[in-house]
Amino acid sequence: MELHKIIHSVLYEFIQAYIPDADLSTLDDVLLFYITGVLEDLGSEQSVEENLDVEDFAEMLEAYIPGFAEIDSVKVCEMMFNLASKLATARTSEIVELKARTKEISLKLPTPPSEPPPAETQCLKSQTEGATARQPVSKWESQEQHLLEMFPKCSLSDARSALCIAKGDIEEAVRLIIEGDVQLSQTPLNVNPGKSISSVPDQKLKESILEKYMLVDRDEDKKTHRPLPPKEAPKKLVRYHGNQVVTTKGERYQLVKKDDEEDMKKTYVNLKPARKYRFH
């Protein structure tokens, strides 16, 4: 983008003047988009003073270029004002160039009729109306083709809507597209369906942003995850043991005693004191 080239060159000269040893390889698209957004509404010295927060701007660039925060804020404001003026001049020259191209194309086109057909009747005319209706349709299609040549990002439906709003006046349609009154669709409809637009650059930009700014939890990798021990199984109660009912007292289940429990009872020591007998 031409605007990004202007921003990059101005920043390069400014930083080289104050920080000669700075590493300018860190000036990526993210920073250029940020500076473009800051300069979006700046066009005069008063607007620079009102809308530009020099401290936040210097803090942002300090993360990319160490030592930028030490530059005088007055110098930073002057640089931003000059950059805003250059961007405004570049936008104006681009608009003037587009208008000059439209005038050249309009001179090559035949003059439109004094009363152009309405948008509704022009868009809904069919080929069965005879040879009298074919001539306006061919002019309409030629105007659409000229709009598509002037604006490569413009789709066929956008060109038709602009001509319908402008009532067949190609100069008015060009003005509507330049000023943004007609919103251009993201993907042109007249693109060959066999060729799909690749999203590899967007994916690479997304991966670079994630790699640079994504938070990675290093402590999580050092943790050793140990599962909880399983709960102890409840004691197994049986109703029948050795083909015999365990008890006849009405209980449905009875805990089966192990043989080693009786052997262990023999090892128990009774520590109760002996009873004292008193003779009368």
- The model's pLDDT over 207-246, given as tens digits with 9 standing for 90+, comes to 888 777 777 677 777 888 788 877 776 665 556 656 565 5
Lowest mean pLDDT across 14-18, 45-49, 87-91 = 45-49
Q: What is the mean pLDDT of residues 186-204?
A: 55
Residue 27 has pLDDT above 80, yes or no: no
Give the per-residue pLDDT at 193.
Answer: 44
Give the per-residue pLDDT at 196.
Answer: 47
Give the per-residue pLDDT at 185.
Answer: 67
Residue with tokens 């988009």: 33
Q: What is the mean pLDDT of residues 253-280?
A: 66
Q: For domain 134-187, say whether CATH 1.10.3470 is its number.
A: no
Give the per-residue pLDDT at 209.
Answer: 81
